[in-house]
A and B are shown apart, each in its own frame.
Chain A
Amino acid sequence: RKEVEQDPGPFNVPEGATVAFNCTYSNSASQSFFWYRQDCRKEPKLLMSVYSSGNEDGRFTAQLNRASQYISLLIRDSKLSDSATYLCAVNILGYQKVTFGTGTKLQVIP
């Protein structure tokens, strides 16, 4: 089983739609969780950390389910500028290594 798994998509959604991505991780010792955004041929940029209690930043909501070992990202009121690849990232406690998923591609359509 891969350390971090994501549905590669693409998810094609109309402007204004709500879209959700999931990401599963295999190691139960995983401690820190993140969502990054990556535009084509650019560097990953941190979108948000994911906390046990769930967290929200504007139109973006991230949640963690430790029991089922997955994290999710919800984007409300999608904008054209949200079109990108969304990377899930996981760090295992005690290891200086952040592992990325393959990413989920989102295309917001006018």
Chain B
Amino acid sequence: EPEVTQTPSHQVTQMGQEVILRCVPISNHLYFYWYRQILGQKVEFLVSFYNNEISEKSEIFDDQFSVERPDGSNFTLKIRSTKLEDSAMYFCASATGTGDEKLFFGSGTQLSVL
């Protein structure tokens, strides 16, 4: 069964450092998403991406965040200067684009900012 893959599974970084979280969506999917979940809290929407452009973004997704689809398979989330409060599990998801918005999630990257 096709799946969304994320790397790394864990990332530890120092405050102020840049991190790039990587995702390989399901190959025939057209819509891509990043969500985050702080421990004990809800799954929060960050950004959606379609046709090489951001479709929607939340208030959390400020200038410190960026997304990119550098090639035909990878989808990345960059945090330019990490803060302590960026510590969370980051989930990538993809959807077919046929309009049903069923999301398929990767297993996540646990980001710890020290």
The answer for the CA separation of A101 and B37 in the assembled complex, in Å, is 12
Asked if B60 is an interface residue, CB under 8 A from chain A, the answer is no
Chain B, interface size category, equals 20 to 34
CB distance from B75 to the nearest CB of A (A): 14
CB contacts between A and B, total, < 8 Å: 53
- The complex places the Cα of A49 from the Cα of B31 at a distance, in Å, of 18
In the complex with contacts A97-B48, A97-B56, A102-B41, A43-B102 CB distance below 8 A: no
Task: Please give, as numbers and ranges, the residues of chain B lying within 8 Å of A43 by CB-CB distance.
Answer: 91, 105-108
Secondary structure class of chain B's binding surface, majority of residues: strand
Contact residues in A for B50 (Cβ distance below 8 Å): 96
B111 at the interface (CB under 8 A from A): no
For the complex of A and B, list the 7 residue pairs with the smallest distance between their C-beta atoms, beginning with the closest.
A96-B55, A43-B105, A96-B48, A100-B43, A102-B42, A91-B101, A97-B56
Q: Which residues of A contact B (CB under 8 A)?
A: 32, 34, 38, 41-46, 49, 87, 89, 91, 95-103
